[in-house]
Every structure is written in structure tokens, then in C-alpha cells.
Structure 1
Amino acid sequence: MSYFTPPGGLPAQTELLTDRAIVTEAYTVIPKGVLRDIVTSNLPGFRAARSWILARPVAGFATTFSQLIVEIAPGGGADRPEQEEGVEGVVFVTSGALTLELEGLPHVLGAGGYAYLAAGATWSLANEGDAPVSFHWIRKAYEPAPDIAAPASFVTRDQDVAPREMPDTDGAWATTRFVDPDDLGHDMHVNIVTFQPGGSIPFAETHVMEHGLFVLEGKGVYRLNGDWVEVEAGDFMWLRAFCPQACYAGGPGPFRYLLYKDVNRQVRLTGHSRIEGVEP
């Protein structure tokens, strides 16, 4: 398995400014070339760590989740990474070895390591190795549903979960599902989608789910709200609900991305909005 990890640094003064970053009302593309040292954030409670915040709830952008790439230097970590009650999360490691202590039990997650961290779980992170560790951290306020039990935390690996081929695709399009899509306890899915060269989404998906997509490997062309956008390993895309979307894998190898979506809940018509700048 291959997973892109931002190297940081800064461009040379001789490089051109031109890049592929774009923000629209329907989608945003944050290309790998802008994940530089100058745009990192430090996180309260973390030691020897930095992060690239790819998405957060804000007017005109993400509404249901936040997504960060976190890099922890050797000896660093966090005793209480999640400081908000009621927030669930997924950690997916792209490089290095991350020690996750979950409910008192240690787990060492290498590249491809995946952990679902239920709201209210007790967990901590540490880099006990001699090289930096990098991982995605996707967070969402858990929305309970009547008479449905909340899911439990678990740890697994990309390498240990068999991708499921999409119907009538001969394996050109497959999804690695880390939770059962019929388990209504889960109100978000974080999966890995894989296209073989030439594979495609052959129709314009237009649906209620919001997406965060980080390209782990390969390259492709995405159709986003009428625009064709080239993307490659290291690029991040945010897609608002109902943004038309389709893609082709460009080859020569697989095109893979980490996909977030909100699922399995009734549309809420009452209550206050959590989106900054948006009146309820």
C-alpha cells in the first residue's frame, strides 16, 4: 500500500506561484503543493506536533466535520487529543508508527492503520519511534438516534479489510468499508475508494452526503459541479451536499482516496446550526 504524506517545507523563491487551489460554493480543492510549513497549526494538548487543517465547519464550506493531517515528532504525543464531549473520530496513519492507547490498551498503528474512536472514549497518542508519524484525524459531533446503540471503538488496518467490488465493474471500482454500511449506529463512514486505471464513476452522483476526499495514491480527473478537475496523490477535495460528482482514474497505477461522508440520520429541521456564520 502507498499513502501520500505531506513533506512540508517551503517552495524555492524561484518557483512560480501557479497552482491548482480553488474554492467554489460547491467544492474546494486544496492541492498537495500548498501543504507547506507556513500553513500548519499547533494543537492544544499536543507535544512536538503540527497539523494541516483541511476542513472545518464554516459558512460556505464544510458543515458536518473537520479533517486534519497531524504530524508528531519522535517523543511527541497527546494525553487527551479529543477535548470536546460528544465528538467521535477516525485516525488513519499514512507514515510512521503511532502508539494509540485506547481504553487502557496499547495499539501500534503503522501505515494503513485505522481506528474508530467513539464519542466519550478514553484514548491517547504517542510517537515512541525514531521517525515522524503522520495521520489523518477526522472528527464529527456524534448524532444519537432513538433506540439505536452508539457504536464501540475499534482498531484495524487497510491491509486487513478486503475491498468490495462495486456491482458490474469487474473490480475496476472497489470500496474498503471499515464499518458495516447497514449498522445504523454509525452516523459517518470513513472508507477508502480504489479505482484501477481507466475505472470510473459512470454517472453524476448528486446526493445529500457531504464529502471530504484525500487522494492517497495515483491520479484522476474529477467532474465537480460541471468542472473537470485533475487531482493527484496529496490533494484534498471538499464536496458540499448535492454537488454533482464523478471521476475517471488516470493510471498508470491505482487511484485511491480516503473518503468521509455523513450517513444514516434523518434530516434535522429544528435546532440550532453548528455552522459558524450561519443563522439558525
Structure 2
Amino acid sequence: MTDSNYFAPHGGLPPQTQLLSGRAVFTEAYAVIPKGVMQDIVTSELPFWEKTRCWILARPLSGFSETFTEYIMEVSPGGGSKNPEPDAEVQAVLFVMEGRGTLNVAGKTHALEPGSYAYIPAGTAWTISNESKAPIRFMWVRKAYEAVQGIDKPEAFFLNEHDVVPGSMPGTKGAWSTTRFVSPTDLRHDMHVNIVNFEPGGVIPFMETHVMEHGLYVLEGKAVYRLNSDWVEVEAGDFMWLRAFCPQACYAGGPGRFRYLLYKDVNRHPKLRYR
């Protein structure tokens, strides 16, 4: 697979002459947050983060995300955090779209660049900084880890997506593939954050309906995505949330590749009670 051009928002504010109508959708089964929504006035500040702002795309909420939060982080030069995660029970995945920085996990330092992927287990100390002259923009996916007695907690790992060979979906001849960062059979992990790739003309050829909740951030290209009973056009920079069992399908008509970063909860029994 060739090098990728990941999309990341830069903020700003539309002119007063722009029409108000847009592509944002919020329903009981899915939500679409288009890239045009990610302006300066909808950013958030976080405790113990310096020279940093973020777009919070998903959070646990009645009728919305149940299992995860997802942020786009923008750390300006000289910024970062020495205490980024406030909850010792929460694990993280970081994926870099733009810029460069330094990640320190459990005393070991790792350089961050576009395509960098890091998994950080719950309860692991980490810091991040930007010593470069340009902002670094990355996805931060957070999920409370569901420990299982008799199964070890996964360890931290770091790689770049360009070092991972995508696996072609059966019968697609590479038109639909997945860049997997964790083996589906590794039951230590209770979430997967992968990259799904479609060549022009590639499709999900049936209405997927399954227990996994999804967060999809479009890294590259455009497509039409079936969400519940609606066909929705999406492009690089858009975010989609799909609740469990929301029917979905996809047609990537081109002209270029269509790729998205996909979150899903996996490998655990559904909860039967909440305390």
C-alpha cells in the first residue's frame, strides 16, 4: 500500500455569508459529524494539557456512545501533558495524522510521526510532548478496560501503519482490506482500533448488523455509507458513530481510496446489569 495523506482538522470559523445547512446528522441509531463542524468554537480544553485543544467526537451519553470516547487532539509547539489520563482503569490508542512529537510510556520514549500507532494499557503512566515547530494532530481513543479473571492484561505496543500489511477480506481481491494492529484471536484485548481500506469500486456487499459499537473517522477519500435506513455521503475528516446492531454497508466509488480508522468493542460478554 502506498503512503497515505491523512486528514486532520485545523479549525477556523466559516464566514457570515456561509449557508447554515450542512451534513450533520444525529439519530437514535447513528450520528455523522462532518469535517465542517470541527471549527474553533466547538473545541474543548482538558486538565493538565498545555497548549492543547481537542474535538470530542464521541462520549458515553444516553442514546449515543456507550463504550468509548474519541478525541482529535491538537498539540501546539511546546505543548503536551505529563498527566494526560485521569482514570487508571482506562486504556488508550493514539494514531497520528499530522506532525511530530514524543511519547513516553512507562519510562520508554517513542517518536511520533504520521501513521504512528500506540496502544497504552490501563494503569500505565505516559506523557506526550511536541518539541517541533508545527502542531501535532492525532486521534485518542479511550475505553475502560474490562478485565477477565485468568486472562492477562495486554502490554503496550508501538508501530507505524505503513509497517503493517493489510489483510484482504475473503473474495475481494484486495478491493476491501483491513490493517489490523491486534490479532482478532487475542482475547486480552477488549477493543480493536484498525484501519479499513477500500480501493475505488470496493464495497461492503451486505448489511452488516452486529453487536459491536463503532466509531469511524475517515482518514482519506470519499464514499457513500449505509447507516440504518439511510445512504449518507462521507469524506475525509468526517466522523460516524454507529450504535450496536445499526445496519451498515459501504460503496467506495472513487476516484481514490477510501480509508477510515475504526473502533469497535470486542471479545467480552455483553453486560447484563450496570452498577
Residue type matched to 1:11 in 2? P
Distance, in Å, in 2 between the alignment partners of 1:234 and 1:271 is 34
Match of 2:44 in 1: 41
Residue type matched to 1:116 in 2? Y
Distance, in Å, in 1 between the alignment partners of 2:24 and 2:192 is 26
Q: For residues 123-172 of structure 1, what are the alpha-carbon distances to aligned partners after superposition, in whole Å with 9 as ceiling and x for unaligned?
A: 10000101000000000000011211110011111111110000000000
Alpha carbons 2:88, 2:124 under 8 Å: kept? no
Matches within 5 A, 1:62-81: 62-81=65-84
Task: Tell me the C-alpha RMSD between the 2 structures.
Answer: 0.6
Structure 2 gaps of 5+ residues are none
Residue type matched to 2:73 in 1? V
Distance, in Å, in 2 between the alignment partners of 1:252 and 1:270 is 47
How far apart are residue 207 of structure 1 and its match? 0.2
How far apart are residue 270 of structure 1 and its match? 2.5
Q: Secondary structure at the match of 2:77?
A: strand
Alpha carbons 2:44, 2:55 under 8 Å: kept? yes
Match of 2:24 in 1: 21
Residue type matched to 1:117 in 2? I
Match of 1:250 in 2: 253
Match of 1:214 in 2: 217
How far apart are residue 106 of structure 1 and its match? 1.0
Size of the alignment, in residue pairs?
Answer: 272
Q: Secondary structure at the match of 2:41?
A: helix
Q: TM-score, normalised by structure 1?
A: 0.96
Match of 1:85 in 2: 88
How far apart are residue 250 of structure 1 and its match? 2.2
Distance, in Å, in 1 between the alignment partners of 2:204 and 2:126 is 37
Distance, in Å, in 1 between the alignment partners of 2:201 and 2:223 is 9
Matched, 1:205 2:208: yes
2:273 is aligned, of 250, 270, 276, to: 270
Q: TM-score, normalised by structure 2?
A: 0.98
Distance, in Å, in 2 between the alignment partners of 1:181 and 1:80 is 31
Matched, 1:237 2:240: yes
Matched, 1:164 2:167: yes
Residue type matched to 2:91 in 1? E
Matched, 1:114 2:99: no
Match of 1:186 in 2: 189
Match of 2:199 in 1: 196
How far apart are residue 271 of structure 1 and its match? 3.2
How far apart are residue 267 of structure 1 and its match? 1.6
Fraction of identical pairs, as percent: 62
Structure 1 gaps of 5+ residues are 273-280
1:11 is aligned, of 10, 14, 20, to: 14
Matched, 1:101 2:104: yes
Alpha carbons 2:6, 2:219 under 8 Å: kept? yes
Residue type matched to 1:223 in 2? R
Match of 2:126 in 1: 123
Q: Secondary structure at the match of 1:41?
A: coil
Q: Secondary structure at the match of 1:220?
A: strand
Distance, in Å, in 1 between the alignment partners of 2:145 and 2:68 is 10
Match of 1:276 in 2: none
